[in-house]
Chain A
Amino acid sequence: MAERGESSVSRGDATLYDDIVVLDVSSSIRGMHCAKMFGDYGAEVILVEPVGGSAARQVGPFAAGREDRETSLHFMHHNRNKKSVALNLHTERGQELLRELARGADLLIEDWPVGTLEALGLGFTQLHALNPRLVVCSITGFGQSGPYAGYKTSNIVEDAMGGLMGITGPADRPPTMTGAQQAEHITAMHAAYACAAALLYRELHDEGQHIDVSAQDCVASVLENAIEQYTYTGVVRKRSGSRHGTAWPCTVFPCKDGYIGMCCTQGKEVRAAALLSEDFALAEDPVLENTFERRSRADEFEPRLVAGYMKYGKSELFHKGQTLGCPIGMTSDARDLATDAHLNEIGFFGEFAHPVIGPYKDIAAPVYMTATPGVMRSAAPLLGQHTSEVLSRLNLSEAELATLSADGII
């Protein structure tokens, strides 16, 4: 693509975090995805797993027909660009080794139940004493303090307790969970931001710190204006399907081969939506200019729009609608994403080669940073693949490594 403006962008080979060593002591999406953000932008991320393998290796989906600890696609997706060190942290020697690794690390990401790492001598205070520049990020369902600090969590629990589930889904069904575990992912992204800010601060002030991330609060932070609706007007929002509260049409519509998403906020966009459905009478109706009136007549207008959309497929509607100036997207499934012309052209995907699975394509670094683009260096590691490589930095001899292995510590 020789776009004007782009040619002038300095596109160095620099990576953002090539000076940073991350210890990833997590097994949930909220921890692993956070660490992945640093690996995607060049950090050396060392995943510290139990000797039997991360719990994430037991979570599906698996590569078809082969369910073992090297074939979890869940594990592979969240751990590319990482190294694996298998280390038993429930032994004193294992704890010592992690403390040694933490001496040389910059960021440690963990999602353990509150207090459990401290009990092993691996909490923030203990590690900070060894390495005052270390940033430790603890990512749990409810944070490190407060009455629910010890509560167990999962994506559905976070959707529920963060207030998102109560406003998601059709009114006549139970509260609806977010697809693809959004509570866990959005928590991971807030944690990644906090870690990036802490590493920047450390660059300037030479001081590490402890970050306490609560998934419940991260979810509540992205409710747009739902909490303010309550604090400003006393109104508790109810779930009401896909239809937007004020804009119309701003919802999900069926079409010939699936669904489309639309969000019109101005009269000209609404007219484009009507033109797209080939309802020319509606397109010329002056009522479309009035935000409140068109919204109040949504029940009347929607069947007219849908009648037109049902004649066409989602991809055709998407491109034709966009050409008309209608803010429309198709309701993509995985194949739509993987084969999308735009995503493929601008480098949204990366190619990986896994020793067991073989070559495959997956989502790469999410943000295009022109001077420091993401780097896809490796597929997810095999269990313990880098144990010797990493521990040899601690000046352990081959014989010592063999003993540790025989003792079940590595």
Chain B
Amino acid sequence: MLKDALAGFRCVDFSWVFAGPYCGQLLGDLGMEMIKIECRKRMDVVRMYPPFAFEDRRLNSSGYWNTHNRSKYSINLDMKSEKAREIIIRLIAMSDVVLENFSARGMKAIGFDYERLREINPRIIYCSMAGFGHRGPYKNYVAYGPMQESQAGIVNLTGWPDGEPSRVGTSYPDAAAGVSAAFAVASALRHVKRTGQGQWIDLGQTLTAAALTDTAVIEYTVNGTIQQRNGDSHRFFAPHNVYPCSGEDQWCAISVENDAEFAALAAAIGQPALAQDALYATNAARIQHREALDEIISAWTAQFDHYEVMHRLQAAGVAAGAVLSTGEFVADEHVQTRGFMEQFDHPVVGEKLYPGVPFKMSQTPGRIHRPAPLLGADTEYIFKTLLDMSDEEIKQLDDEGILV
């Protein structure tokens, strides 16, 4: 039987959209029991975000939602009702983690700030993921991933020096916050096992993105230098770029960090003499003449498919990677051999492929444990198995409109 690193841990999950659900996805794939709280009046808005499996955009058919909420259970509870809060209190008392990514006011508004959570369960790990965290002058500022990326300093460093700064092609700070939260939660669980001490993880999404700006801050504080965006070139190495290949909008990334790699590249493109040419023989010379060098390399790459460029250069010991479209990624020989994409059957959308777990653990492999739940699909199961409720009790709650 496969073992799970986080088996036996349970999370009451109020999170929605992307940052919190991505954290929950990572925890759920390693076996934590994720109980997602929604209701029809206030469901996770991403249930209605594209892409959809059907043209009518029907409920439970969003690929965006289905990928980030696999390995979770869904229960419907109208959090505005007192009875729902009583049920939540019972769940929190038997759980290890509470996860949410509301604004800094959100959890208090439904009656569960950390003080209250700790009264219910002193060992609880409460992970909040507000845009700027719960402290400091911007704590009540509203913040979503695409603008956090600006605030965090990543946008300014992405894009072309002669053009506008550019967002990364996804809501990147959400993902960065999600994985940072997963690290903190797993770490805090170990701490509570060792010491009995629960805690509040007060994560700020903008901060976890800003923490990934590499040397931007230290170069400013030590040298007073403000880093600029460089397009696809590297400040300290050349050649370093994407090069056009034979197909339409087809490119291969190539990066060379030393003279030996450059000699290998020069030989692979049929121009071994370049490695002795004073214009290109040293890294400093290559940086100085990078544009001319890029033209020479482009003339060679343009003859071949981007995969062929990659395979030829990698065979010669040069770091090269085809710029893969999403379709090419899914079909890629290596991705398929590694089994990164996992297929699962979903009651509404059927069999689809999803990105799986991006690392392999030898003892506790991690996997998509179950398809993303239909809205409220597990209400009865969770109430019966965890809360020991009878059919009658559940029916009564339903009649009172609490399980909408």
Interface size of A in residues (CB-CB distance below 8 Å): 164
Contact A152 to B318, CB < 8 A, known contacts A174-B251, A328-B147: yes
Supply 12 A–B pairs (Cβ within 8 Å), ascending by A: A168-B166, A185-B176, A199-B190, A217-B356, A225-B51, A252-B164, A322-B138, A325-B142, A327-B143, A334-B216, A363-B218, A366-B180
Cβ-defined contact, B191 with A14, below 8 A: yes
The interface centre, meaning the residue of B5, B53, B108 with most chain A CB atoms within 10 A of its CB, is B5
State which size class the interface on B falls in: 35 or more
Complex alpha-carbon distance, A61 and B227, angstroms: 10
8 A Cβ contacts from A1-53 to B: 1, 3, 5-6, 8-10, 12, 14, 16-17, 19, 29, 37, 41
Contact with B along A155-176 (1 / 0, CB 8 A): 1111111111111111001111
Closest to A212 in B: B360
Contact with A along B149-192 (1 / 0, CB 8 A): 11111111111100111111111101110011111101111110
B263 to chain A, nearest CB (A): 14
Complex alpha-carbon distance, A196 and B204, angstroms: 20
8 A Cβ contacts from A326-384 to B: 326-338, 341-343, 345-346, 348-349, 357, 360-363, 366-372
A203 to chain B, nearest CB (A): 5
8 A Cβ contacts from B42-80 to A: 49-53, 63-64, 66-67
Cβ-defined contact, A207 with B363, below 8 A: yes
8 A Cβ contacts from B191-246 to A: 191, 193-195, 197-204, 206-208, 210-227, 229, 231-232, 234-236, 240-242, 244
Cβ-defined contact, A157 with B180, below 8 A: no
B188 to chain A, nearest CB (A): 6
Question: A77-B218, A328-B147 are known contacts; what are 17 more A-B pairs with Cβ within 8 Å?
Answer: A16-B191, A156-B234, A156-B242, A159-B253, A162-B329, A178-B172, A179-B229, A181-B214, A221-B358, A223-B326, A229-B63, A230-B330, A252-B164, A261-B150, A331-B165, A332-B151, A371-B188
Contact A76 to B218, CB < 8 A, known contacts A197-B186, A363-B213: yes
**Does A311 sit at the interface, judged by CB under 8 A?**
no
**Does B300 sit at the interface, judged by CB under 8 A?**
no
Contact A168 to B168, CB < 8 A, known contacts A73-B215, A236-B325: yes
**Does A245 sit at the interface, judged by CB under 8 A?**
yes
Complex alpha-carbon distance, A362 and B222, angstroms: 9
**Which of B136, B212, B319 contacts A153, CB < 8 Å?**
B319
8 A Cβ contacts from A294-340 to B: 318, 322, 325-338
B100 to chain A, nearest CB (A): 14
Complex alpha-carbon distance, A333 and B154, angstroms: 8
Complex alpha-carbon distance, A216 and B327, angstroms: 15
**Which of B53, B168, B225 contacts A182, CB < 8 Å?**
B168
Contact A64 to B359, CB < 8 A, known contacts A185-B214, A366-B180: no
Cβ-defined contact, A224 with B355, below 8 A: no
Q: Write out the residue numbers on chain A whose beta carbons fall within 8 Å of the beta carbon of B244.
A: 174
Cβ-defined contact, B176 with A189, below 8 A: yes
Q: Write out the residue numbers on chain B whose beta carbons fall within 8 Å of the beta carbon of A177.
A: 158, 231-232, 242, 253
Cβ-defined contact, A189 with B324, below 8 A: no
Complex alpha-carbon distance, A158 and B352, angstroms: 25
Cβ-defined contact, B155 with A259, below 8 A: yes
Q: Write out the residue numbers on chain A whose beta carbons fall within 8 Å of the beta carbon of B227.
A: 180, 333-334
**Which of A12, A147, A169 contacts B166, CB < 8 Å?**
A169
Complex alpha-carbon distance, A236 and B327, angstroms: 6
Contact A59 to B150, CB < 8 A, known contacts A16-B190, A147-B337, A368-B201: no
B307 to chain A, nearest CB (A): 11
Cβ-defined contact, A180 with B170, below 8 A: no
**Does B322 sit at the interface, judged by CB under 8 A?**
yes
Complex alpha-carbon distance, A204 and B3, angstroms: 12
Cβ-defined contact, B197 with A160, below 8 A: no
Cβ-defined contact, A334 with B232, below 8 A: no
Complex alpha-carbon distance, A17 and B194, angstroms: 11
Complex alpha-carbon distance, A31 and B219, angstroms: 21
Cβ-defined contact, B213 with A12, below 8 A: no
**Which of B49, B146, B223 contacts A64, CB < 8 Å?**
B223
Contact A12 to B236, CB < 8 A, known contacts A156-B242, A192-B183: no
